[in-house]
C-alpha cells in the first residue's frame, strides 16, 4: 500500500495564479482532510470530507475549494493564489467509522507551496 500520496511535492506560484493539489489514498478510508502548516505553528484544518461527494469547512477555509468526486481522491484548489497561502499543505485520511483506530489520521508527505 502506498498509503497517502500528494502531488506535487513542491510548487511555486505567482500571485493570482490557480492550482490544484491532489491527494490520493489506497486504504479505503471514508474521511479525508486538508491541513496547512505554517512555521512554528500547528496543523490547521482547511477542509475535510466524511465521504465521497461530501465536503465541509474546517478552521481556515477561505481562499480554498475542495472536491471529493471519488472516495480515494481529495482535491484542494486555490483559485487565485496569495502570498499568505505560502505554506506546507498536508493531506490526511482516516477510517472514520468503526471501532478502535477509526480516528487515527494517516498523513501524506506534504506539498510545499510558495506564492510570490
Partner 1 sequence: DQQVKQNSPSLSVQEGRISILNCDYTNSMFDYFLWYKKYPAEGPTFLISISSIKDKNEDGRFTVFLNKSAKHLSLHIVPSQPGDSAVYFCAASVGTNAGKSTFGDGTTLTVKP
What does the binding site for partner 1 look like in residue numbers (CB under 8 A)? 4, 31, 33, 35, 40-45, 48, 50, 56, 58-59, 90, 92, 94, 96, 102-110
Q: In the bound complex, what is the minimum distance in angstroms from residue 31's beta carbon to partner 1? A: 6
Q: Measured from the CB of residue 11, what is the shortest distance to partner 1 in angstroms? A: 15
| Nearest-approach distance from CB 46 to partner 1, in angstroms | 12
What is the DSSP annotation of 28-97?
--SEEEEEEE-TT--EEEEEEESSTT--EE-SS-TT-EEE-SSTTEEEEEESS--GGG-EEEEEEEE--S
Nearest residue (CB) to partner 1, 64 versus 90: 90
Nearer CB in complex with partner 1: 14/100: 100
Q: Which is nearer to partner 1, 7 or 15 (CB)?
A: 7
Exposed/middle/buried for 69, CB within 10 Å: 0-12, 13-18, 19+?
exposed
CB of 15 to partner 1, least distance (A): 26
Q: Look at the block and give the residue holding cell 502531488.
A: 7
Q: What is the spatial distance between Cα 88 and Cα 113, in angstroms, rounded to a whole number? A: 6
**Which of 14/42 has CB closer to partner 1?**
42
Amino acid at each position: 500500500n502506498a498509503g497517502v500520496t500528494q502531488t506535487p511535492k513542491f510548487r511555486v506560484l505567482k500571485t493570482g495564479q490557480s492550482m490544484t493539489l491532489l491527494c490520493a489514498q489506497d486504504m479505503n478510508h471514508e474521511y479525508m482532510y486538508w491541513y496547512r502548516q505554517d512555521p512554528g505553528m500547528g496543523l490547521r484544518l482547511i477542509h475535510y470530507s466524511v465521504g465521497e461527494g461530501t465536503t465541509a469547512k474546517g478552521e481556515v477555509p477561505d481562499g480554498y475549494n475542495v472536491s471529493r468526486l471519488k472516495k480515494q481522491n481529495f482535491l484542494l484548489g486555490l483559485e487565485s493564489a496569495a502570498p499568505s497561502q505560502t505554506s506546507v499543505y498536508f493531506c490526511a485520511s482516516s477510517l472514520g467509522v468503526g471501532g478502535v483506530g477509526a480516528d487515527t489520521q494517516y498523513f501524506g508527505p506534504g506539498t510545499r507551496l510558495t506564492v510570490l
